[in-house]
């Protein structure tokens, strides 16, 4: 068992040669864009979801490779933006003028967003989904699509699911890849600037409704949601975004490292995996006091706290003492007087995740979400750690 200690803070003939070169070039041209490795093996992506609650400073935008707008909606099988959402997306698109390296991607879905199982169920409905998504990107000068179906084959969030979701999700992503390429070619989004296609993916049992190996060729990258490992639906506290598995954790505990290994074992190439960082903490109340509340039963889930609130009201404040789990490489807070526990990410745990990304040649770090770090402190930790 690790020791918990309080602390202050804390990616031949010429004709035959010509013939072979032609064949090779043709085959290469037919290969999916998503199968291409990064242009620079030393570059690690910084990808952030953004609900556009606050504006982004230009200096912070310069540290981001891709902003993912959350969320477009699925209505009657089509990907749409309501008027208010379109205005919010436009605020992100305007950042590209001063930051030409920035890509803005539209995510559709999110926790509790239904309609995916139905939209993926037939050839016609899949094409309706794909065509509407591609036209939305073209109409809004966006750079790609992120599919956040939580989760194929699962109905925990109250959405419809089906045993056929696993096969249909593969077919949906193939239809999206083909349609995005077709529409992209007509709008100067081709080659290295093609419309990207990614998914938000959980781990463990939450991906048993996905054929990971089958969808990998269609995708540019996977946004691994390596956070929310513990939440209001889990029986104990714990590291909700831990890198490794704590020695106090149960045998089936989820962690970032286990998620990565699950996807690698399924055949995903390392550069397509972006691990997640949480710009918020999760608090539990009436927690059993053993091990300073770590992996203990609790009375009720207290809620989430964005990074500025964690700094102002919780980290080594008001009775909350910061501890560092040297095995999990994750911080947590314990209030011995009130028996409250908070799990979160901070610059130290983000640096550990960045080291893991580099040592395993992964694609980079993704985070949720931009509005919970308005001063860019955690974003700066991501960028500096990866560079």
| Residue indicated by tokens 């094409």 | 127
Task: Report residue 294 CA to chain centroid gap.
Answer: 25
> Quick check: helix, strand or coil at residue 284?
strand
> Quick check: helix, strand or coil at residue 38?
coil
Residue count (the chain) = 387
Q: DSSP label at 316?
A: T
Kindly write down the DSSP assignment for every residue of 333-347, as one continuous string: EEETTTTEEEE---H
Distance separating alpha carbons of residues 211 and 166, to the nearest angstrom: 6
Catalytic hit among 42, 78, 150, 377: 150
Instruction: Please give the torsion angle defined by the CA atoms of residues 136, 139, 145 and 150, in that order, rounded to the nearest 10 degrees.
Output: -30
Active site residue 304: no
Question: What tokens were used for 278?
Answer: 């949480």
Q: DSSP label at 57?
A: P
Question: What tokens were used for 69?
Answer: 């707008």
Q: Would you please indicate which residues are annotated as catalytic (active-site) residues?
A: 150
């Amino acid at each position: 068992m690790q020791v918990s200690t309080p602390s202050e803070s804390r990616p031949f003939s010429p004709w035959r040669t010509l013939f072979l070169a032609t064949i090779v070039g043709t085959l290469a041209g037919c290969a999916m864009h998503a199968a291409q490795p990064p242009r620079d093996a030393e570059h690690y992506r910084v990808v952030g979801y953004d609900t556009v609650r606050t504006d982004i400073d230009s200096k912070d935008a310069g540290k981001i490779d891709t902003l993912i707008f959350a969320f477009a909606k699925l209505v009657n099988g089509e990907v749409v933006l309501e008027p208010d959402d379109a205005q919010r997306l436009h605020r992100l698109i305007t950042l590209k003028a001063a930051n030409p390296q920035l890509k803005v991607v539209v995510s559709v879905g999110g926790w509790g967003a239904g309609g995916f199982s139905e939209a993926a169920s037939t050839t016609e409905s899949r094409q309706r989904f794909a065509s509407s998504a591609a036209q939305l990107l073209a109409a809004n000068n966006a750079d790609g699509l992120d599919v956040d179906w939580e989760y194929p084959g699962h109905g925990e969030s109250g959405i419809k699911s089906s045993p056929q979701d696993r096969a249909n999700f593969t077919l949906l992503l193939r239809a999206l890849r083909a349609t995005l390429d077709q529409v992209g070619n007509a709008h100067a989004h081709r080659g290295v600037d093609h419309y990207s296609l990614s998914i938000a993916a959980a781990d463990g049992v939450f991906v048993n409704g996905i054929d990971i190996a089958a969808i990998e060729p269609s995708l540019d990258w996977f946004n691994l949601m390596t956070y929310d490992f513990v939440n209001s639906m889990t029986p104990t506290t714990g590291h909700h975004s831990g890198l490794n598995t704590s020695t106090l954790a149960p045998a089936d505990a989820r962690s970032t490292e286990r998620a990565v290994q699950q996807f690698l074992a399924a055949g995903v190439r390392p550069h397509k995996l972006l691990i997640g960082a949480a710009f918020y903490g999760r608090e539990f109340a009436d927690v059993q006091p053993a091990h300073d509340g770590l992996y203990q039963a609790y009375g009720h889930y207290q809620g989430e706290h964005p990074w500025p609130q964690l700094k102002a009201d919780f980290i080594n404040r008001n009775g909350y003492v910061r501890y560092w789990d040297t095995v999990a490489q994750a911080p947590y807070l314990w209030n011995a007087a009130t028996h409250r526990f908070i799990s979160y990410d901070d610059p130290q745990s983000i640096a550990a995740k960045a080291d893991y990304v580099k040592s395993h040649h992964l694609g980079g770090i993704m985070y949720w979400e931009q509005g919970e770090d308005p001063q860019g402190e955690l974003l700066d930790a991501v960028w500096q750690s990866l560079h």
